Structure 1
Amino acid sequence: MTKEPPNWVVLKECAEELTHRGLTPFTRQQLITAVQSRFPDRSESSLNPMIQGMTINLKGGAPGGIGKEVFRSVGRGVFELRPQSARPHGAPDVSTTAREPARKQYSVVPSAPTPTNDLRPLILVSCVKSKRNQPAIAEDLYTSAWFVKAKRFAKAHGEQWFILSAKYGLVEPECVLEPYELTLNELRIAERREWAERVMQALRPRLVPGRHVILLAGSRYREFLMQHIEQHGCHVEAPLASIAGLGPQQN
């Protein structure tokens, strides 16, 4: 019977695979999911301490066979693979590539079609100006009180929600973004039309007649999106004024 590799080996291999695919930095959950896709019996409770123990700028964690030279934390729950992680004498070389990985700043929302009977509420929340100063998963990148309230509403009332980013378009809450300085208020009307078309390319497969779409966004984010969404037979609502404690979009 072939002996299964220890957690530290699998974590490093999966981190290298994510990096090779351009998913860098990656979230803790993305790394754990990658491990569990290969070894479903590896629990989060066993992997989390090992990730901590393999991260050079985090204290504590479970000791492994490679030390704390593998990962670097670049944000809350966000990591990157160090270019030249140390390898103890006698440990197997699990490196899959020697070249410096290309950094991918964001993950494009996959365009997998939505089942035709999927009428679950879909909530779209606009980005805001106030952000963290380091990479983070999208739902944690934006820091204004308004966004925090909008996110809380989206999680409580929507089966599915996305962020409308002025720079990246339609963004999954769990994808990693670099901080940026851009709002639709700074764009010309032609550029805002182009942005709306880009969002619709990713959103269109998820729109089916009768689906309820809630837009938690200011007028610049809604102006061209609403008509496009309604043309797909969806019921569109922009209830900022009617949601207690939320009100108009604020940065």
Structure 2
Amino acid sequence: MVSLGLVQAGPEPARTWTPAAEAYDTEFFRLKREFARRSYDEWLVLSAAHGLVEPDEVIERDEVDFADVKPAEGARWAMETVSELAALVRRNEFEEVAVLASRPVRETLVERGGLESRMAAAGARTVEPLAGLGDEDRQRNWLAEQLEIRRDAGE
């Protein structure tokens, strides 16, 4: 199964132009990034300012935090992002799209962008590995445990 992971950008962007994979310097972003690298065939950064970003794409510092986005802007962002994602899924024949993002971001993508139905129409199922795990601390712990299991298994 060809899979794609989406990793939500962190709230603390780098100070200068830098590759997206290195642009957000928080433990939570690093854990999600490493989990995506080990778990999916490809992965992208999911940014409130830049939308879908290739990990090696050099981006400028952004001050946009998902928590600060107004509902109308969030709806527009979700529709544009999901449209771009649907085209990418079709083009690359991804069968699974995993969203490693906060609950508000996942809900915006699903409710405002039609994520699940549009991915299904494009031929992919949507999974949310962090859904139902509770707060960020629990999600961080789960990611760390999953990465440890993969390291122990030699992946």
SS in 2 for 1:205: helix
Structure having the higher helix fraction is: 2
1:225 equivalent to 2:109? Answer yes
- % identity of equivalent residues: 27
**Paired position in structure 2 for 1:172:** 54
**Paired position in structure 1 for 2:128:** 238
Q: Which runs of 4+ in 1 moved over 3 A?
A: none
SS in 1 for 2:76: helix
Distance 1:120 1:167 in 2: 27
After TM superposition, the structure 1 = structure 2 runs for residues 1-251 of structure 1, keeping only pairs within 5 Å, are 119-208=1-90, 211-226=95-110, 228-231=114-117, 232-233=119-120, 234-240=124-130, 241=133, 243-245=142-144
SS in 1 for 2:43: strand
- How far is the alpha carbon of 1:235 from its aligned partner? 1.9
CA contact (8 A) 2:3 2:94 kept: no
CA contact (8 A) 2:2 2:94 kept: no
CA contact (8 A) 1:150 1:216 kept: yes
Structure 1 gaps, min length 5: 1-118, 247-251
AA aligned to 1:202 is: E
Question: When the two structures are superposed, what TM-score results if normalisation uses the length of structure 2?
Answer: 0.74
How big is the alpha-carbon RMSD for the aligned residues of Structure 1 and Structure 2?
Answer: 2.0
**Paired position in structure 1 for 2:148:** none
- How far is the alpha carbon of 1:210 from its aligned partner? 7.9
CA contact (8 A) 2:31 2:143 kept: no
CA contact (8 A) 1:207 1:229 kept: no
Q: Which has the larger radius of gyration?
A: 1
- How far is the alpha carbon of 1:192 from its aligned partner? 0.5
What count of residue pairs does the alignment treat as equivalent?
A: 128
**Paired position in structure 1 for 2:136:** none
CA contact (8 A) 1:124 1:162 kept: yes
